[in-house]
Structure 1
Amino acid sequence: MSQVPRVYGSERDGPESGPQPGRDYRELTGGPLDGQLIEVTGWTDEEITTGAYLITPHSTYGPGGRAAYGPTFSRPAGPWVWEGDVP
């Protein structure tokens, strides 16, 4: 039995912690949020290709630090990869 990935920002054991029908997501790979999904429903193409700085308590900079994730040139519609931590 495989585990459903958790959506970034959702409650760990909440009823809607997994992906919801009709919404668009990118998988986060590597770094402190590895295996989670980020919802990009309603984002512009520019926002999606830019990536995001996501707050995480597991950053190199501690609670409140951010992990940078973004698409790769070879797979712009694929998973977002960890690019490092920022304060």
Structure 2
Amino acid sequence: MPGCRRRRPDYPNRSPLPHQTYAALVGGPLDGLLLAVTGWRPEEIDDGVALSTELSRWPGGSELHDPRLGEPRTAGPGVSCRSYHSGGTP
């Protein structure tokens, strides 16, 4: 599964890659991370995603993120869309 990237000074070379496409994660414990969605079909992004993370309310659980219907999406590299926190699971 594609990884998440956050710009942090303690993680050198963690900036977005110019040839990758990302979804910006909004809200919840993963707020501010970029999810690499290069090569994902639009319907895969529209279905939302469950991301396993130790940052979850339940360590080792998953955080759920979904797009908002009708929100614009761009094509090509860079941040193409946003995915909003919709809950977590153990």
TM range (shorter): 0.7 to 0.9
- Pick one of 11, 15, 18 that aligns with 1:13: 11
* Preserved CA contact (<8 Å) 1:27 1:35: yes
Alignment-derived partner of residue 88 in structure 2: 85
The one of 43, 49, 53 equivalent to 1:56 is 53
SS of equivalent to 2:29: helix
Provide closer, same or farther for how the CA distance between residues 14 and 55 of structure 1 changes in structure 2, counting only shifts above 3 A. Answer: farther
Query: Which of 26, 47, 57 is the equivalent residue of 2:23?
Result: 26
Q: Report how far residue 58 of structure 1 moved.
A: 2.0
Tell which has more relative contact order, 1 or 2 (C-alpha 8 A, sep 6+).
Answer: 2
| Residue pair 2:50, 2:62 contacting (<8 A) in 1 also | yes
RMSD (CA atoms) = 2.2
Q: Which runs of 4+ in 1 moved over 6 A?
A: none
Decide whether the 8 Å contact of 2:5 with 2:16 is kept in 1. no
State the secondary structure of the residue aligned to 1:53.
Answer: strand
Distance of 2:19 and 2:49 partners within structure 1: 22
Structure 1 unaligned spans of 5+: 1-6
Contact 2:5 2:15 survives alignment (8 Å) = no
Report the count of equivalent residues: 79
Hey, what does 1:45 align to over in structure 2? 42
Q: In structure 2, do the counterparts of structure 1 residues 82 and 73 end up closer, same or farther at CA, with 3 Å as the change threshold?
A: same
More strand by share: 2
